[in-house]
Amino acid sequence: MSESDKSADWVVYLIRNSHNALYCGVTNNLQRRFKQHQIGKGAKALKGKGPLELVWSLVVRSKSEALKTEYAIKQWPKSRKENLVSRKLMIEWDKDKIQYIEIS
């Protein structure tokens, strides 16, 4: 791993597929990863379910925060994920704890 890879921003993202399902993932290069998904080289869950739309992303400080955020989002019902997409819910990291902020 190069030094630039170690300091790369980690991103948690949501992609909407043609069936209106939301897929959550993490990467340190969002543009590259989304292109992989679009050509069918990403997650099996998205393969053949295009067109795909990147609908939400969050930059975090580390791979650890990205994985913890991804895990939390994957536990949510779709309605709460839709709140993220529509910006009615925000996620922030405060020290080592994830914070959820409801926007009215």
Is the omega angle on the peptide bond into residue 77 within 30 degrees of 0, that is, cis?
no
Q: Are 62 and 47 in contact (CB under 8 A)?
A: no
Mean pLDDT of 84-96: 90
Type of residue numbered 88:
K
Q: What is the pLDDT of residues 41-69, one digit of tens each?
A: 878 888 888 899 999 999 999 999 999 99
Task: Give the pTM.
Answer: 0.87
Distance CA 27, CA 23 (A): 13
**Tens digit of each residue's pLDDT (9 = 90 or more) over 10-35:** 999 999 999 999 999 999 999 999 99
User: Is the C-alpha dihedral spanning 64, 68, 73, 74 positive or negative?
Assistant: positive
